């Protein structure tokens, strides 16, 4: 009945569903276990009327014009540079570390990128090619800034010594010698003007696409006919954990609404050393929503146990080895395409997931069908 069964209505599943339905004119069934589309990017109006991201802050950013143009077919944007402050030694300082961070933290008067670079050169540790998340940071900014801005946050987020975590994790946060206080420097940054869920519903609005929610794909196998499968769930679960379980980090969100216009100065404040949560997000800063009340979300990280949502693959050598065993099995299956943050066990951003789905469509699907 369906040409494709697509597991997961997040970016991976929805982009591929849209492409296949529209470009190949094939029938697609998208199933998701959750009660909504949009995967981890899902947003909704809470009981206080504030638009919140259910699964933690999602700030879209990309340099990839193709990805931006593609998503722009389904949404207008609220362009907004993402700025974060971090609470260190009782003060709110800019992160990524930049000239102002150093001046405010140490009472310095550095005025040029050369002076800032000279400061970093004086404190950085020669690690050779950084082999882990600790070396990645100390090789740029030295021990003190590492301890104040990175060590505590990384321990809270991953519960793993940064020495045992891949360098790519802390490499996500750059170091700046100028006063640029944007979290990302990408060309395109913001949030969909009417929210992520609205963008996904436009993407999936096609007569060739059927969506089935609150359904585990395992419950419909054998009951529904389909040709190929596209799978964006956890890869270890697909293979019934036959090589063992891949670890993931989960999150606990604490939402609170205040009867006041604003709660904090920025859309996101990180807490590397104080409290048990990693960050507090105030949604209205990012969405531009006007309301006399405001909602904030505190985020606590924990290891995903049975039944919990899996949010982050854990970038660590032994996990990668285990993933490779599953990947080898996945490569043997001609009729199943694995795609996404959980299926590829990779710490992808949204734009990377979209780029990968578009690439898979062009390389694997459109060619096959044009033959
Ligand atoms: P998902 O969105 O996880 O979708 C997979 C879907 O598959 C889920 O809806 C799940 O319910 C479904 N599924 C799984 N198993 C089954 C099953 N057995 N049967 C049926 N359905 C199933 N990226 C950014 O670019 N910027 C950010 O600021 C940002 N912030 C983030 C903050 C947090 C807290 C998290 C967790 C991620 C963040 N990301 C961010 C990353 C972004 O969420 C992902 O890159 C993107 O959502 C991945 O899309 P996906 O389709 O691969 O996976
Ligand atoms: N990080 C940190 N201090 C910060 C921000 C980030 O130590 O103030 C480290 C931490 O290890 C974190 C990683 O950098 O997990 C990536 O941060 P990012 O903000 O990209 O995390 P995400 O939004 O993906 O959770």
**CATH assignment at residue 18:** 3.40.50.720
Digit-coded pLDDT (tens) for 158-188:
999 999 999 999 999 999 999 999 999 999 9
Indicate if ligand 2 lies below 6 Å from the C-beta of 350: no
Residues 232 and 98 in one domain: no
pLDDT of residue 126: 97
Indicate if ligand 1 lies below 6 Å from the C-beta of 183: no
Indicate if ligand 2 lies below 6 Å from the C-beta of 95: yes
Residues 112 and 157 in one domain: yes
Digit-coded pLDDT (tens) for 271-300:
999 999 999 999 999 999 999 999 999 999
Q: CB under 8 Å, gap of 24 or more: what pairs does 160-164 form?
A: 160/314, 160/316, 161/134, 162/132, 162/133, 162/134, 162/137, 163/132, 163/133, 163/134, 163/135, 164/132, 164/316
In three-state secondary structure terms, 229 is: strand
Dist. CA 146 → ligand 2 center (Å): 12
Residues 216 and 351 in one domain: yes
Residues 101 and 148 in one domain: yes
Residue ID of nearest Cα to ligand 2 atom 13: 170
Per-residue buried b or exposed e for 233-262, using 16+ beta carbons within 10 Å of the residue's own CB: bbbbbbeeeebeebbbbbbeeebebeeeee
Output the average pLDDT for the chain: 97
Q: How confident is the model at residue 371 (pLDDT cuts 50, 70, 90)?
A: very low
Indicate if ligand 1 lies below 6 Å from the C-beta of 190: no
Dist. CA 105 → ligand 1 center (Å): 36
Average pLDDT over every residue of 118-131: 98
Residue ID of nearest Cα to ligand 1 atom 36: 311
Ranges of beta strands (E only) in 32-83 are 43-45, 51-53, 60-62, 77-79
Provide the H-helix boundaries in the chain. 11-23, 65-72, 99-106, 113-123, 133-145, 152-158, 167-170, 196-203, 235-238, 283-287, 317-331, 350-360, 367-370
Q: Is the pLDDT of residue 369 over 70?
A: no
Residues 218 and 329 in one domain: yes
Residues 240 and 325 in one domain: yes
Rounded distance, CA 72 to CA 190, Å? 12
Going 129 to 131 to 273 to 269, the CA torsion angle's sign is: positive
pLDDT of residue 364: 87
Q: Is the pLDDT of residue 366 over 90?
A: no
Residue 287 counted as domain residue: no
Indicate if ligand 2 lies below 6 Å from the C-beta of 86: yes
Residues 159 and 89 in one domain: yes
Indicate if ligand 1 lies below 6 Å from the C-beta of 217: yes
Indicate if ligand 1 lies below 6 Å from the C-beta of 157: no
Residues 116 and 160 in one domain: yes
Indicate if ligand 2 lies below 6 Å from the C-beta of 140: no
Q: How confident is the model at residue 368 (pLDDT cuts 50, 70, 90)?
A: low
Q: Is the pLDDT of residue 347 over 90?
A: yes
Residue 227 counted as domain residue: yes
The ligand 2 atom at the shortest distance from the C-alpha of residue 150 is 7
Indicate if ligand 2 lies below 6 Å from the C-beta of 157: yes
Residues 91 and 231 in one domain: no
Residue 54 counted as domain residue: no
Q: Is the pLDDT of residue 49 over 90?
A: yes
* Contact indicator for 316, 324 with CB cutoff of 8 Å: no
Bridge partners, residue 352, by sequence: none
Average pLDDT over every residue of 78-91: 96
Q: Is the pLDDT of residue 304 over 90?
A: yes
To the nearest whole percent, how much of the chain has pLDDT over 90?
A: 98
- Enter the ipTM: 0.99
Digit-coded pLDDT (tens) for 180-236:
999 999 999 999 999 999 999 999 999 999 999 999 999 999 999 999 999 999 999
3-state secondary structure 133-180: HHHHHHHHHHHHHHHHHHHHHHHHHHCCCHHHCCHHHHCCCCCCCCCC
Domain extent for 159: 84-170
Q: Is the pLDDT of residue 136 over 50?
A: yes
* Contact indicator for 97, 283 with CB cutoff of 8 Å: no
Instruction: DSSP for 251-301, please give it.
Output: EEEEEEEESSS-SSSSSEEE-SSSSS-SEEEEHHHHH----SSEEEEEEEE
DSSP category for residue 56: S
Indicate if ligand 2 lies below 6 Å from the C-beta of 314: no
* Nearest in space to 215 (alpha carbons), one of 14, 39, 35, 33: 33
Residues 165 and 222 in one domain: no
Dist. CA 311 → ligand 1 center (Å): 7
Residue 68 counted as domain residue: no
Residues 163 and 225 in one domain: no
Residue 259 counted as domain residue: no
The ligand 1 atom at the shortest distance from the C-alpha of residue 59 is 28
């Amino acid at each position: 009945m369906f040409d494709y069964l697509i597991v997961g209505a997040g970016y991976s599943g929805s982009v591929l569903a849209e492409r296949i339905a529209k470009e190949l004119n094939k029938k697609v069934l998208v199933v998701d276990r959750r009660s909504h589309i949009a995967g981890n990017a899902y947003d909704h109006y809470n009981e206080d009327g504030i638009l919140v991201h259910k699964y933690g802050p999602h700030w879209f950013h990309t340099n990839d014009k193709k990805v931006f143009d593609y998503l722009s077919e389904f949404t207008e944007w609220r362009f907004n540079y993402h700025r974060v402050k971090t609470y260190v030694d009782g003060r709110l300082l800019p992160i990524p570390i930049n000239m102002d961070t150093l001046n405010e933290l140490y009472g310095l008067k550095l005025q040029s990128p050369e002076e800032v670079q000279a400061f970093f050169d004086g404190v950085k540790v020669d690690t050779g090619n950084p082999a882990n998340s600790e070396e990645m940071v100390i090789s740029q900014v030295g021990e003190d800034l590492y301890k104040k801005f990175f060590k505590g946050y990384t321990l809270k987020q991953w519960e793993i010594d940064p020495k045992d975590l891949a360098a790519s994790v802390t490499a996500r946060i750059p170091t700046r010698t100028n006063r640029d206080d944007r979290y990302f420097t990408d060309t395109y940054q913001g949030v969909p003007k009417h929210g992520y869920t609205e963008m996904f519903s436009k993407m999936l609005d096609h007569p060739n696409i059927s969506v089935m929610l609150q359904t585990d794909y395992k419950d419909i196998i054998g009951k529904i006919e389909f040709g190929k499968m596209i799978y964006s769930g956890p890869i270890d679960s697909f293979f019934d954990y036959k090589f063992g379980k891949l670890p993931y980090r989960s999150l606990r969100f604490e939402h609170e609404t205040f009867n006041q216009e604003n709660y904090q100065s920025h859309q996101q404040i990180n807490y590397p050393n104080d409290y048990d949560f990693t960050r507090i997000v105030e949604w209205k800063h990012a969405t531009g929503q006007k309301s006399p009340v405001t909602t904030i979300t505190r985020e606590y990280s924990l290891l995903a146990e049975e039944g919990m949502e899996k949010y982050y693959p854990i970038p660590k050598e032994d996990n990668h080895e285990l993933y490779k065993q599953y990947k080898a099995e996945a490569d043997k299956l001609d009729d199943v395409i694995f795609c996404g943050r959980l299926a590829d066990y990779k710490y992808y951003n949204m734009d990377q997931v979209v780029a990968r789905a578009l690439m898979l469509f062009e390389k694997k699907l459109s060619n096959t069908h044009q033959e």
